[in-house]
Structure 1
Amino acid sequence: MIHKSDIDESVARALLVRFQELRITLMILQKTGIGKTVNELRRATTNEDLSTMAKSLLKQWKKLLPEPFVATSSTKDGKSIASTDDNNSQPQRKDSINNTQCHEASKMIGRKTYQSIPSVTNVPWQTVDTIRIKSRELLANALTITRIPEGSGDPVELSARIEDAIFKEINDTTVKYGRRIRSRIFNLRDLKNPDLRTKVLLGSITPQRLAVMTADEMISDTLKEECAKFKEIAHRESQLAVDEGIGSDLIQCERCKKSNCSYSELQTLSGDEPMTLFVLCRNCGHRWRG
């Protein structure tokens, strides 16, 4: 039985996404009992996204039941999916692999601690290094922090490819590797920068590209515009340093109290904002905004 306190929502979300990608057969459902596990998760979680994903999977799996069992598929706890008699032929090799993966994954849904999420097939970017596995888990959690858009790639596979690209460039798991991993996680988890996460999930930004992006490249377009605006303001203010402005004896220096000043007006914000007054004391060199 899965209890609410045992559910790690990030891990559960990643596993439900994996189940959507797998070719689940009736044989797999019968052998692993994954239908019952997913239904327990649906009933235990208070997260609407997880509940919706679980319901969608259960509805999809019920379609695999033979006609005589469809009428009983709405029984409590989803037991009909997991307990239908084994009357199919021997599964193909791919089904056997998926069977094993589902069985292992079903045991992980209720675990609160992070676990290594199994891959479906043997691929070049697999690893047994515990540091790298942990990095992949944290990246997967960052990719699934919010609702996954339709048409997204497998977050678990993407996280593995991102980590692998970082490792291949740095070639070890020391300080530089850790900083690179943390910066990717920080930016992917940033709720004010959803575009980065979406672009990675949809493939607009490849794992190889994300692995080498600078901090400036990963920030949101909105923040880029703000940074550009502040740079422009700083540039304009620096130009004032060599601009003596218009002399005036009507302005008194805040520091030396002399009335030997010059001033310049500059548009520092948008066009509909008032001009900013910059004052220079010719006596003591003090500068301030009016």
Structure 2
Amino acid sequence: MDVMKVSKQLEKMMTEDSLDDAQALELLKVLQSQSISLEDLEKTRIGMSVNKIRKQTSSSDVSTLAKKLIKAWKKMLDSASNKGSKAGKTSSADPPESKSNSDSPVAMGDSPNVPPKQEPASPAETTASVKTESASAEFSARSQFVPTLPMPSNPVRSKCVEMLCRAMQKNSEDADEDHCQRTALSIEEAICSEMPQLDSKYRNRVRSRVANLQDTKNPSLCANVMSGAISPEKLAKMTAEEMASDKMKELRQHFTKEGVRDAQMSVNSGTTTDLLKCSKCKQRKCTYNQLQTRSSDEPMTTFVFCQHCGHRWKFC
């Protein structure tokens, strides 16, 4: 089976509600039997998928095999990067003198102490070294989350805890990893106690907490949660309006007051009449105002507001 096909199947399994451990174990065995090159790892990003399977699975066999594969691939990346760095050092070092050159007499005018001309490293070797080192760093960075506290056995819950922890770490650079994980576990547990079915409402609730915690325009929310000013139980039940930043709250209040004022002006001002009929609700409960919007010799413009459905129109 092609490595790309295996990678797509693993990604498809992670989007499902429950992970099929038997199918995951079979796909990992297929990867173990194949010889995967560095180019395949960079192209398919199979290492990320295997690492996610390792975190979500509840089977010890799947977890053990995934760890072996990740360890083997990391060794391959490290060896490739070491080869690239050694090639660069060898090309920049002085080449040893050959035996024939040491035995041959020095020509007249030549200096025996002048070292031979150094050959610069080829662009291909330099590019290969940089490419392998960047791939190794990217692979290690994407698989760096290792929980230090006991995680929920359910893969969906453990994934939600990881998302919450990463959101707090993103918006708080100096945050302690254990403290972030402990807070994330408390938040997820509070949400799960309210929504034990782990349905779409549960996931939407977790996503809204993650989006607000990692919002760089609202750092006060994450700081209050980390300091304990907002408890995890309270954060689990807060609405989007309550989690918004102070600037956003002021802006929403301004728009609300402005909308209420405009609505009151439209309803209270104007002359009530039943001669005009609304084209939407067919009711005759309307008010109208007349303004001179054009030149003085033109007729006035009539603005009509339906008090039944709120429809507005104008005519001359």
Report the TM-score when normalising by structure 1. 0.46
The structure with the largest helix share of the pair is: 2
| Structure possessing the higher relative contact order (Cα contacts under 8 Å, 6 or more residues apart) | 1
Report the TM-score when normalising by structure 2. 0.43
